[in-house]
Amino acid sequence: MPTMGALHEGHLSLIRSSVEENRCTAVSIFVNPIQFNNPSDLEKYPRDLETDLNLLRDLLREDDFVFVPSVTEMYPEPVTTRYDFDALETVMEGQYRPGHFNGVGIVVNRLLRIVEPDRIYLGEKDFQQLAIIRRLTQIEQLPVKIVPCPIIREPDGLAMSSRNQRLTPEHRKAAPAIYRALKEASADFSTRDIAGLISRITEQIEATGLLKVEYVEFVDEASLQPVARHDESQAVRCFVAVQAGEVRLIDNVRIG
Ligand code: AMP
C-alpha cells in the first residue's frame, strides 16, 4: 500500500487489513513531489522515517517489505505523462489542486508496476483519490483489486492525517468542528435542501473563527458529480476542504 509516511493509526489500519488478508504486504513510503501543487506544503510535509520503520517493524511479518525509493529512483527522467481522468478530476481536489491527480496517477502507476500487487489498500479519507486510482487501473489495464478502507478518526472525530501534526494547538482544538458539521448534515439530509445544508456546514465550521472552508460538495459516490436534490436511489457523499491556518484539511462522510 502506498503512503507518504508520517504514519498514523489511519495508515496502520490499512496495513493491518492487508497483513490479515494477504501472504505478503508491501508498504511504500515516498513523499511524491509531483503531486504537491503548493511548494511550501511539500517542504513542510512531516517526515520521520525512523519512527515509521519502528511502527512497521511491529506490524509486518517476515515476507513483507517496505519500499522507500528516492526521488531520482522514481523519476530518473523528467515526467511528461498526462492522464485524462475526465470529470473525476474537474471537481473538488482536482479543481482546487491543479496537477495533483496527474502526479498521483504517475506515482501510483509506477509503484504498481514495480510491486505488481494483487490488491491495493486505499483509505476513504482520500475518496476522490480512490476513484482516480480506480480509473487509473482501467486506463493502464493494471490487474489489481482495489480494497477501500474506512476513515480512521481521533476520539474527537478529526480524521487522522499526517498533516494534523502541523496544526497549532488552537487549530487542533477547532478542527473537530469539521466532522461535527458533516455528521449533523448527514442526519438532516432528507429533510433539508442541499444549498441550505452547504451554507449551514460552512457557517458551523467557520464559526470557530479559525477554520476557512474552501469547498463543501454533495456528490454522487460513483461519478463524483454534484447532486442537485435528495434522491433515495443515489449513494451520496459530502466532501469538505478546510484551511486551518497553514494546514489544509479534507474530510468526507457517506450520507444516510
Ligand atoms: P498518505 O500517506 O496521506 O498518502 O495516505 C496513504 C493511504 O492511507 C491513502 O490510501 C490514504 O487514504 C490512507 N489514509 C490516510 N489517512 C487515513 C485515515 N484517517 N483513515 C483511513 N485511511 C487513511
| 192 pLDDT more than 90 | no
| 90 pLDDT more than 80 | yes
| 224 pLDDT more than 90 | yes
Taking CB atoms and a 6 Å cutoff, what residues make up the pocket around ligand 1?
A: 3-4, 10-11, 14, 122-123, 125-126, 149, 151-152, 159-162
pLDDT digits (tens, 9 = 90+) for 91-125: 999 999 999 999 999 999 999 999 999 999 999 99
Residue 189: CB atoms within 10 Å = 16
Q: Report pLDDT for 256.
A: 72
User: Residue 98 and residue 75: Cα distance in Å, rounded?
Assistant: 20
Which stretches of the chain are DSSP H helices? 9-21, 39-44, 49-59, 71-74, 92-96, 100-115, 127-139, 169-174, 177-188, 194-206
Q: Are 179 and 185 in contact (CB under 8 A)?
A: no
Cα 250 to ligand 1 centroid, rounded to whole Å: 11
Cα 76 to ligand 1 centroid, rounded to whole Å: 26
pTM of the model: 0.97
237 - beta bridge partners? 219, 254
Q: Report pLDDT for 163.
A: 97
Q: Is 230 a catalytic residue?
A: no
User: Residue 50 and residue 71: Cα distance in Å, rounded?
Assistant: 18
| 231 pLDDT more than 90 | no
User: Residue 193 and residue 136: Cα distance in Å, rounded?
Assistant: 34
Cα angle, residue 47 at apex, residues 46 and 51 outer, rounded to 5°: 120
Atom of ligand 1 nearest to the CA of 8: 16
Q: What's the whole-number average pLDDT of the chain?
A: 96
Q: Report pLDDT for 194.
A: 93
pLDDT digits (tens, 9 = 90+) for 2-59: 999 999 999 999 999 999 999 999 999 999 999 999 999 999 999 999 999 999 999 9
The grid cell for 117 is 500487487
